[in-house]
Amino acid sequence: AGQRQSQPGSQPGSQPGPRPLVSLRDVHLAFGATEVLKGIDVEVGQGQAVSIIGPSGSGKSTILRCITGLLRPQRGAIHVDGVAVHALAAEAQLIALRKQVGFVFQQYNLFPHLSVLENLVIAPVRVGGVPRARAIAHARELLAKVRMEHKERAYPGELSGGQQQRVAIARALAMRPKLILFDEVTSALDPEMVGEVLTVIRDLVEDGLTCLLVTHEMRFAEDVSDTVYFTEAGRIVEAGPPARLFGAPANPRTRAFLQRAA
Ligand code: ADP
Ligand code: MG
C-alpha cells in the first residue's frame, strides 16, 4: 500500500495536470484460461509521454493492443479521448478509433513496393479522404521531422533499419493521430541505429505529441517520460515519476528488474 500513485478518476477537476487522453481501469484480459492482464490501471494525459517497462511476457504489448481495440478485455474500462473503447461494437467505430491511435511496432513493416513518400501518402488519401496534393505536402513535412526528407523516392528495401523505423513513425503521424503507441520500436535495430530513432521520438515528445511507449531503453524512459509504469505478470507493480521510479523504486521487484536491466 502507498507504493502506487493514486489513480484519480477521469472526472474534470479530480486531478491536477493534463486531462487524460487514455485511461484503463481495472482491465482484465485472458487468452482462454491464461490470465494475461489482471487488473491494469494506466492513465496518459494529453501531451504526456508515458512509458511501460517490465519483463518479457508481463503484458505490455497486450495493454497497447487493448487501447487500439485489437483485443477486448473481459472486464474493466478503456477510454481514449472520451470514447469507451471496451464497448465499441461496430467495425466502423473501431476503424475510426484506429485512425486516431498511431501504432509503431518493432517490425517496421513498411509497404515494400511503395516509395517512402507513397508509404506516407496512401492511408491519408485512401482511408482519410485527404486530397493527394495535401497528403504529399504533409508527408514531406513529416519526413523532414524524422530527418528522412532526402529519401522520399527510395524504397524501404534500400534503407537501413533505423531509417525504415523513422519512416514508419512518420507514416503513423501521417494520419494525424491523437496519440502514438510505440512497442519496443528499437528492439530489432542494430545498436548504432537506436539513437537516431530515440532522437526522433524525443523530438515528438517535446512537440507535445501524446505518447505511450513500451521500451527496454531505461535511460530513455527516464529522460522523456512524465510517468513510468512497471508491469510484472499482468499487473502494474509500481508507477510514478521517472526520477522516483528509477531513483528510489519502492517495490523490491521493480528494484530487481532495474538492477538486471542496468
Ligand atoms: P510483453 O509485451 O510484456 O512481452 P505480451 O503482452 O506480449 O507481453 O504477452 C503477455 C502474455 O500473454 C505472454 O505470456 C504471452 O505469451 C501471452 N499472449 C500474448 N498474446 C497471446 C495470444 N494471442 N494467445 C495466447 N497467449 C498470448
Ligand atoms: Mg511485447
Q: For residue range 219-229, list pLDDT tens digits in order.
A: 999 999 999 99
Does 96 or 9 have the greater pLDDT score?
Answer: 96
Q: Flag whether pLDDT at 141 surpasses 90.
A: yes
Q: Flag whether pLDDT at 11 surpasses 50.
A: no
Tell me the CA–centroid distance for residue 183 and ligand 2, in Å. 7
What pLDDT is attached to residue 261? Answer: 84
* Pocket of ligand 1 from Cβ distances under 6 Å: 31, 34, 36, 56-62
Q: How many CB atoms lie within 10 A of CB 192?
A: 10
Gap between the Cα atoms of 256 and 54, Å rounded:
11
Q: Mean pLDDT, the chain, as a whole number?
A: 92
Tell me the CA–centroid distance for residue 16 and ligand 2, in Å. 31
What pLDDT is attached to residue 16? Answer: 57
Average pLDDT of span 131-144: 98
Place of cell 489482471: 38
Q: Flag whether pLDDT at 12 surpasses 80.
A: no
**Backbone dihedral region of 129: left (phi > 0), alpha (psi from -120 to 50 degrees) or beta?**
left
Gap between the Cα atoms of 158 and 147, Å rounded:
16
Mutate to test the pocket of ligand 1, among 29, 36, 64, 106 (most ligand atoms within 8 A of CB): 36
Q: Which atom of ligand 1 is nearest to the CA of 183?
A: 2
What pLDDT is attached to residue 10? Answer: 43
Q: Flag whether pLDDT at 151 surpasses 90.
A: yes
99-108, 128-137, 209-218: least confident range: 99-108
Query: In a 3-state reduction of DSSP, which class is residue 24?
Result: strand
Gap between the Cα atoms of 50 and 165, Å rounded:
20
Q: Flag whether pLDDT at 8 surpasses 70.
A: no
Q: How confident is the model at residue 1 (pLDDT cuts 50, 70, 90)?
A: very low
Provide the residue count of the chain: 262
Q: How confident is the model at residue 181 (pLDDT cuts 50, 70, 90)?
A: very high
Span between the terminal Cα atoms of the chain, in Å: 27
Which ligand is in closest contact with the Cα of 40? Answer: 1
Q: C-alpha cell of 125?
A: 488519401
What pLDDT is attached to residue 18? Answer: 75
Are the C-beta atoms of residues 59 and 231 closer than 8 Å to each other? yes
Gap between the Cα atoms of 36 and 233, Å rounded:
7
What pLDDT is attached to residue 17? Answer: 66
For the sheet containing 20-31, what is the strand order? 34-45, 20-31, 75-80, 83-84
Nearest CA to ligand 1 atom 13: 57
Phi then psi dihedrals of residue 4, to 5 deg = -90, 145
- Dihedral, CA of residue 57, residue 199, residue 98 and residue 33, to nearest 10: 0
What pLDDT is attached to residue 113? Answer: 98
Which ligand is in closest contact with the Cα of 229? Answer: 1
What pLDDT is attached to residue 109? Answer: 87
Number of alpha carbons in the 13 Å side-chain half-sphere of residue 161: 14
Q: How many CB atoms lie within 10 A of CB 34?
A: 8
Beta bridge partners of 144: none
Global confidence as pTM? 0.92
How far apart, in Å, are the Cα atoms of 73 and each of 58, 59, 123, 201?
16, 12, 28, 29
Tell me the CA–centroid distance for residue 65 and ligand 2, in Å. 10
Q: Flag whether pLDDT at 74 surpasses 80.
A: yes
